[in-house]
Structure 1
Amino acid sequence: MTADETGRETRLFITILVLTMAMMVMKAVLAPAPPIDTLAVSDNDDIMRFLSVRALLEGQAWYDMTQYRMLPPAGLDLHWSRYVDAPIAALVWVAAQVVPMAQAEAFALVAWPTLLFLLLLLATGFAARRVFGTQAAIVSMIALALWPPTGLTYFGPARIDHHNVQILLTCVVLITLLLPGRPVRLGLAGGLAAAMSLAVGLEMLVTLALAGVVLLVQTVLRQPGKGWQLVVFALALSVGAVLLFVGQTPPVEWPVPKCDELSPPFLALAGVGALICIAAAVISAWMGSLGLRVVAVLGVTAIGLAVVYPLIAPCFGGPYGNLPAEVQALISTRITEARPALPPLLAGDEMAFRFVFPAAAAVMIATLVWGVRAMAKRDGVETTGRVAILLAFGWLGVIACQFQIRLVLMGAAAVPFLMGYAIAALLPGREGGGARAGRAVALAGTVALTLLSPTLFTLVRSQEAPSGPASGQASTTAAGSADASDCRTAELVRSLDAAPPGLVLTSSNFGPVLLLLTDHTALAGPYHRSAEAVANGALPFDGDETALRSALASTGADYLLLCREARYGDGSSFATELARTGEAPGLEPVEGPDPALILLRVTGDGAG
């Protein structure tokens, strides 16, 4: 390639990068609703994260992650990390030095996810250009903007939960596996990013383990420098995880094993993993036969896993393992993101389609392109190996989402790279002869199935039925109702402050937003650390009159909140009847809130 051609490609890459960044910034800044109103209809976890940030700014202790306005007086214990709260709080504090607090909060709600997206865009764009060329990099950046999980859902205004942080961190880990460079630096960067990801949340644990496996295989195969990178990666991960654990966990809880956050079982797993990696590097350096290296490394791995198994085995049931069976069932059926992907995908569910279909299509098409090009030797050995690494991560996400839709994020960092690789490989001029027409058809089909499929799906659905609330906009359904979420708007919820502050029993989906926009306290929320909070938000609303009145009595609720004309449970519940009639003995209608809501005061015999 001549200097002029290189210059033109560089200018084109920078132009697309700047335009994409500008587009995403403008989309965030010019959002039609105020950020706090966007947060009110966003994911419940984003709301609870924001409430944690507020509490931190108001003086709540660093180690105290309790939300005291849910299930008072003890409050709701959260398993989240202050390492995400801190930078958001810093943005609020800095902005509050020059503007009122409400505007400072609005600034942080827009700035934080937008900043994370810009960092992800820069990392993906420059890394893709380095390993696959300018055309693939341009497509990868466009893919980031068009694929809903990255371009809209997790990096949009008010999306301040930890998922976007984890996508960025796993992208850093993945890039350290793709880029050439000094092994020690790459291992250190990847290991520290992996440690921070574990401190933020455990959702990417398998993804990070896969990164270690990739380095382990490369080390056994004696690829240059990979042994050192593996050792440094493992040490940085294990030591970094310990330091971050100490920084966010109160000393009294250091010995306590927990399955939903970084704790002793996972620290032990990281430590044993580091020892396995060090042993593997030594074995690979000293043993001559590949077969002997493989057997020895497998043996060391088996011994290490056997040692750590007793510590990690109790967590095999996942974070919900210790909850009552009926609460586990509520989580698996009511939380949209916790459902397996295939049934809703086949049923045309919007969230499942927009999240899963483009990713699955990208992985499958990239696998086919990679296989054809590898057999035809059109890619070099390094490129073939890099795509194989990306495919491993991509397939992990596709397979994992068959258990829970949200687990597609395990492969989220690889999806834009795979789209860029596949589409760039099909661009005109890369092959000659009579295959040009076939290549054009394949290119059009790939673009439609990957980059454009979410938009095409939305257009088709808009022609079939009137538009409704975006699927997956909130992480839970409202006590199983068909339309109760229509009442969860900022204006309607704020109207509840017309009533004196009190303890409110409502469906899970209303608990967090009630805390965000009113002075009331809540008894229900979709958070697995409290079986009571999950059950309060569903079982009373699904059951008969006795179940609802018993819940009012046991919780000591001052109010019962319903969405007018909503359908709760299977439609035969007492709550559904109340939502239609708005009255019952011992439940006194409260004047003042918007008529779309029914707020009933519990009188002396209301909880009988």
Structure 2
Amino acid sequence: MSLAESSNPTEPAPKTSPVRLLFRLVLVVAILIAAYQMLGPYWTRVSSWNLSDNDDAMRVLQVRDWLAGQAWFDVSQHRFTEHPVSNIHWSRIADLPLALTTLITSLMFGQSMGEKAAAFLTPMWLGLVYVIAAVKASVALGGKKAFVPAIFLITCAPAVLPYFLPGRVDHHGLQLIFLAAALWGLVAGGARMAVLSGIAIALGIGVGLEALPLQIVLIGWVALRWALRGAAVQDETRWFAASLGLGLAFCFVGTVPEAKWAAPVNDAIGRGHAVLGLVGGLLLALATLFPTARLGPRSGISSRLVLLAVIGGIVLSGVRYFPEVIVPPYDQIDPLLKRLWLNNVTEAAPMMKAKLSAILALTLFPVLAGIASIIALLWAKDKERDLWILAALTIFVSVALAVFWQGRAAGLATTVSGIMAAALIGKLMEQVNFKTALIAALIVNPIIPGFVGSKVAEYFEPKISKFSTGGGSGCFTERAFSGLKAQSPGLVVAPIDMGSRILLTTQHRVLAVPYHRNNKGNLASYRLFLAKPEVARTMAKDLGASYLAICTKSAEVAILSREAPKGLMAELRDGRVPAWLTPIEKPKGSNVQAFRVNLD
């Protein structure tokens, strides 16, 4: 029988049975109910502007002002006291995902609800992009059998998942995406993927410098691999180096106004990062054009190492002309603010200062993944060995950054670890057997070892109950600030961690915000609350303050009261309100106590 005879276009399609249709309907309804149960509480929080972090609130503000007409190159928050000096160290690149979503949701729901819908949706679709890039990287290194382990290891990591929950519109999730994309490009190989990797690293640096030490490791690995492998990787190296250098230049020119090109910046992409990155990238790309392979294996390696040393020397010598690139970004903060504010910001502190349970929960998985990478390195051969060297290097460097520098680097460590651990499990399934792969998966994963270790450690730790910096939900929500919002616009003097929330939920200006460039305003706020009430009155008058506000359940109240037992903050905490302040009625459930300043 021919194909034509067996196919009857007029024959009706087979009917789906009612039982099967009912099953599908029940499945869809169950999925919708599960999604509602899981995401409903997050929508409740976002719709009341009860965001997880100050930076999430500030990101919404940045996008709101930009879409309302503020210039692309103007990242100042105009309601800081020090404007126009008060531009924060953020990049417009990180505003793009939220802005794009806001434009769409505002057309659907209006400006106010559209903003909230965008803050709810943006982290989730960015999370999908992150999972795709990370899974692609795992499969590129570990083969097709790494797909399922990658889905589990990448989506269930406690150190990464919070960055993609509804409302988390800060830039850290975007940095993890660029890191995953950079690793994908490096392990996949080929000129096109090398371009992806170079651009991803450039964009990551353009967004923020928190991952710069790890990105330098990736760049150094590419350069050293070329010196040792030569012709086998010269095309990949050339395209990577050129795209990285040009990408950094474009990020700088495209996000920094021309008037600030000469400014020495050490907390965001600046002249030094752009120039040194461009020079280093182009020199490395040009070096790959030299025919060192004709000199023989040993002479070729020696020649490439010499070229690499020369390029490194040129780039490092540039520090003499751009010394700001090696200056710690928080050096400009006043010592008082470092002691009372910055040292109490959890994500900016090294994890070595955290409790053992927290350290184990967030770093045990990367440590195990690093050990597994070393084992895989001994097992692998040739070019694949280079990739496991990259895995071990990036994992251990990122763990060191989290433990000894800033705790937020735990997300970087977990990203690399998830990609590499899934690849290793895939390799074991393919080349050894399923049982061995399963044992490895049970040992090297982000849930079991860290959870068990942290719970055991937590059992022996003293139980300490205290408010977190910023306070509870009564200090965060739109309703909590409604009493202050009802007042005529003016300058609000409040503790540092209230600044972003006041700007988001009211029309007032603020003196203090949780950003290190606002050194003058933050210091003025703390000094006012530390001063005795009558001295504080004079300071409030000199500042032109209209209102004072505190969150009664904020750690800052306790910290400032402990620092100055007879200061204004201690008096307000204990309910002793000086005559020059009039309490503003606060709504039910609010822990925000605001005061009108009476200086007439």
After TM superposition, is the score higher than 0.5? yes
Out of 600, 603, 606, which is 2:598 matched to?
Answer: 603
In structure 1, what is the equivalent of residue 497 of structure 2? 509
In the TM superposition, what is the alpha-carbon distance from 1:428 to its structure 2 partner?
Answer: 12
Q: Whole-Å Cα distance in 1 between the matches of residues 283 and 341 of structure 2?
A: 36
CA contact 1:543–1:569 (8 Å) conserved in 2: no
Q: After the TM superposition, which of the residue ranges 414-423 and 281-290 deviates more from structure 2?
A: 281-290
Q: Whole-Å Cα distance in 2 between the matches of residues 232 and 537 of structure 1?
A: 50
Please list, as runs of the form range in 1=range in 2, the aligned pairs for 1:531-550 lying within 5 A after superposition.
531-542=519-530, 544-545=532-533, 548-549=536-537
Q: Whole-Å Cα distance in 1 between the matches of residues 439 and 233 of structure 2?
A: 40
Q: Whole-Å Cα distance in 2 between the matches of residues 74 and 600 of structure 1?
A: 27
CA contact 1:40–1:513 (8 Å) conserved in 2: no
Task: Please provide the CA RMSD for this pair.
Answer: 3.5
Q: After the TM superposition, which of the residue ranges 462-471 and 35-44 deviates more from structure 2?
A: 462-471
In structure 1, what is the equivalent of residue 225 of structure 2? 218
In the TM superposition, what is the alpha-carbon distance from 1:155 to its structure 2 partner?
Answer: 1.0
2:395 is the alignment partner of 1:399: no
Change (3 A) 1:39 1:497: closer
Q: Whole-Å Cα distance in 2 between the matches of residues 442 and 232 of structure 1?
A: 36
CA contact 2:245–2:282 (8 Å) conserved in 1: no
Letter in 2 for 1:419: A
CA contact 1:320–1:528 (8 Å) conserved in 2: yes
In structure 2, what is the equivalent of residue 452 of structure 1? 448
The residue matched to 1:190 in structure 2 has which SS?
A: helix
In the TM superposition, what is the alpha-carbon distance from 1:360 to its structure 2 partner?
Answer: 3.2
- Choose 1 or 2 for highest CA Rg: 2
Letter in 1 for 2:272: P
In structure 2, what is the equivalent of residue 273 of structure 1? 280
In structure 2, what is the equivalent of residue 128 of structure 1? 138
In structure 1, what is the equivalent of residue 149 of structure 2? 139
In structure 2, what is the equivalent of residue 66 of structure 1? 76
In structure 2, what is the equivalent of residue 7 of structure 1? none
2:166 is the alignment partner of 1:157: yes
In structure 2, what is the equivalent of residue 567 of structure 1? 558
In the TM superposition, what is the alpha-carbon distance from 1:257 to its structure 2 partner?
Answer: 2.7
In the TM superposition, what is the alpha-carbon distance from 1:245 to its structure 2 partner?
Answer: 1.9
Change (3 A) 1:73 1:257: closer
The residue matched to 1:221 in structure 2 has which SS?
A: helix
The residue matched to 2:284 in structure 1 has which SS?
A: helix
Q: After the TM superposition, which of the residue ranges 317-326 and 484-493 deviates more from structure 2?
A: 484-493
In the TM superposition, what is the alpha-carbon distance from 1:318 to its structure 2 partner?
Answer: 2.1
Q: Whole-Å Cα distance in 1 between the matches of residues 352 and 249 of structure 2?
A: 38
Change (3 A) 1:391 1:541: farther
Q: Whole-Å Cα distance in 2 between the matches of residues 501 and 399 of structure 1?
A: 46
Change (3 A) 1:444 1:267: closer
Change (3 A) 1:174 1:159: same
Change (3 A) 1:494 1:285: farther
Letter in 2 for 1:107: A
The residue matched to 2:160 in structure 1 has which SS?
A: helix
Out of 505, 511, 528, which is 1:523 matched to?
Answer: 511
In structure 1, what is the equivalent of residue 579 of structure 2? 585
Q: After the TM superposition, which of the residue ranges 84-93 and 27-36 deviates more from structure 2?
A: 27-36
The residue matched to 2:582 in structure 1 has which SS?
A: strand
Q: Whole-Å Cα distance in 2 between the matches of residues 308 and 283 of structure 1?
A: 27
2:376 is the alignment partner of 1:370: yes
In structure 2, what is the equivalent of residue 172 of structure 1? 181
Please list, as runs of the form range in 1=range in 2, the aligned pairs for 1:245-256 lying within 5 A after superposition.
245-256=252-263
Please list, as runs of the form range in 1=range in 2, the aligned pairs for 1:189-200 lying within 5 A after superposition.
189-200=196-207
In the TM superposition, what is the alpha-carbon distance from 1:66 to its structure 2 partner?
Answer: 1.1
Change (3 A) 1:216 1:332: same
Out of 114, 117, 120, which is 1:110 matched to?
Answer: 120
Q: Whole-Å Cα distance in 2 between the matches of residues 28 and 169 of structure 1?
A: 27
In the TM superposition, what is the alpha-carbon distance from 1:409 to its structure 2 partner?
Answer: 4.0
CA contact 2:49–2:476 (8 Å) conserved in 1: no
CA contact 1:29–1:110 (8 Å) conserved in 2: no
2:242 is the alignment partner of 1:235: yes
In structure 1, what is the equivalent of residue 546 of structure 2? 558
CA contact 2:139–2:423 (8 Å) conserved in 1: no
In the TM superposition, what is the alpha-carbon distance from 1:397 to its structure 2 partner?
Answer: 0.6
In structure 2, what is the equivalent of residue 325 of structure 1? 335
Q: Whole-Å Cα distance in 1 between the matches of residues 560 and 73 of structure 2?
A: 38
Change (3 A) 1:28 1:496: farther
CA contact 1:69–1:522 (8 Å) conserved in 2: yes
In structure 2, what is the equivalent of residue 205 of structure 1? 212
Q: Whole-Å Cα distance in 2 between the matches of residues 309 and 22 of structure 1?
A: 56
Change (3 A) 1:223 1:111: farther
Change (3 A) 1:86 1:136: closer
The residue matched to 2:595 in structure 1 has which SS?
A: strand
CA contact 1:527–1:533 (8 Å) conserved in 2: no
Letter in 2 for 1:418: M
Letter in 2 for 1:169: F
Letter in 2 for 1:313: P
Q: Whole-Å Cα distance in 1 between the matches of residues 35 and 326 of structure 2?
A: 41
In the TM superposition, what is the alpha-carbon distance from 1:164 to its structure 2 partner?
Answer: 1.1
Q: Whole-Å Cα distance in 2 between the matches of residues 592 and 299 of structure 1?
A: 65
Give identity over the alignment, percent: 24
In the TM superposition, what is the alpha-carbon distance from 1:149 to its structure 2 partner?
Answer: 3.2
The residue matched to 1:583 in structure 2 has which SS?
A: coil
In structure 1, what is the equivalent of residue 390 of structure 2? 389
Q: Whole-Å Cα distance in 2 between the matches of residues 560 and 57 of structure 1?
A: 30
Change (3 A) 1:260 1:314: same
The residue matched to 2:447 in structure 1 has which SS?
A: coil
Unaligned runs of 5+ in 2: 1-30
2:105 is the alignment partner of 1:95: yes
In the TM superposition, what is the alpha-carbon distance from 1:423 to its structure 2 partner?
Answer: 5.0
Change (3 A) 1:295 1:96: closer
The residue matched to 2:71 in structure 1 has which SS?
A: coil
The residue matched to 1:561 in structure 2 has which SS?
A: strand
Unaligned runs of 5+ in 1: 1-20, 472-476
In the TM superposition, what is the alpha-carbon distance from 1:519 to its structure 2 partner?
Answer: 2.5
Please list, as runs of the form range in 1=range in 2, the aligned pairs for 1:22-41 lying within 5 A after superposition.
29-34=39-44, 36-37=46-47, 39-41=49-51
2:321 is the alignment partner of 1:311: yes
In the TM superposition, what is the alpha-carbon distance from 1:92 to its structure 2 partner?
Answer: 1.3
In the TM superposition, what is the alpha-carbon distance from 1:67 to its structure 2 partner?
Answer: 0.7
The residue matched to 2:574 in structure 1 has which SS?
A: helix
Letter in 2 for 1:370: A
CA contact 1:95–1:104 (8 Å) conserved in 2: yes
Change (3 A) 1:68 1:27: farther
Q: Whole-Å Cα distance in 1 between the matches of residues 321 and 152 of structure 2?
A: 44
Letter in 1 for 2:591: A
Count of residue pairs the alignment pairs up: 558
CA contact 2:474–2:591 (8 Å) conserved in 1: no
CA contact 1:71–1:533 (8 Å) conserved in 2: yes
Letter in 2 for 1:324: D
Q: After the TM superposition, which of the residue ranges 235-244 and 112-121 deviates more from structure 2?
A: 235-244
In the TM superposition, what is the alpha-carbon distance from 1:132 to its structure 2 partner?
Answer: 1.0
Can you list the C-alpha shifts for 1:97-124, whole angstroms capped at 9, x where unaligned? Answer: 2322223212211222111111111122
Can you list the C-alpha shifts for 1:227-269, whole angstroms capped at 9, x where unaligned? Answer: 1211221111222222232222222222323112222111111
In structure 1, what is the equivalent of residue 367 of structure 2? 360
